[in-house]
């Protein structure tokens, strides 16, 4: 069975306002028990794993964005928010995001059915 993308609304503009997160910021979000780092750059919102592969620090707990790169708050390692590629040659996983009329959504791949499959 192939995995489908399930979209989760992380910001609702009617509740959180039109600009719920500052540009060049990073924050931790939890979706279905998975910790992600949601970043906002001049180009929009991006989601990556919230764990730096270098030392395990959480990007969303003190990190920030600089020129499209999320910066780890511990050792200042940098990762491209679009591709997940680190300047050091390692990677973090990226997740699709969508800016819709009503809010910001992050997609996670899942093979779990969203309804009872009889």
Tell me: the pLDDT tens digits for 52-75? 998 899 999 999 999 999 999 999
The dotted CATH code for 4-108 is 2.102.10.10
Q: Which helix (H) or strand (E) holds 13?
A: helix 13-16
Say how far apart CA 83 and CA 62 lie, in whole Å. Answer: 21
Catalogue the E-assigned strands of 22-63.
25-31, 34-41, 44-49
User: Which is it for strands 64-66 and 69-71: parallel, antiparallel or unpaired?
Assistant: antiparallel
Instruction: Indicate if the pLDDT at residue 118 is higher than 50.
Output: no
| pTM tops 0.85, yes or no | yes
**Span 21-46, pLDDT tens digits:** 999 999 999 999 999 999 999 999 99
């Amino acid at each position: 069975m192939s995995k489908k993308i399930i979209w989760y609304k992380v910001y609702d503009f009617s509740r959180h306002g039109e600009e719920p997160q500052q540009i060049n910021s990073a924050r931790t979000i939890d979706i279905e028990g998975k910790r992600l780092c949601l970043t906002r750059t001049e180009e929009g919102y991006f989601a990556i794993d919230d764990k730096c592969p270098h030392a395990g620090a959480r990007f969303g707990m003190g990190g920030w964005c600089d020129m499209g790169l999320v910066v780890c708050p511990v050792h200042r390692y940098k990762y491209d928010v679009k591709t997940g590629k680190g300047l050091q040659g390692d990677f973090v996983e990226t997740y699709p995001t969508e800016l819709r009329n009503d809010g910001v959504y992050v997609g996670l791949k899942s093979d779990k059915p969203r309804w009872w499959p009889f």
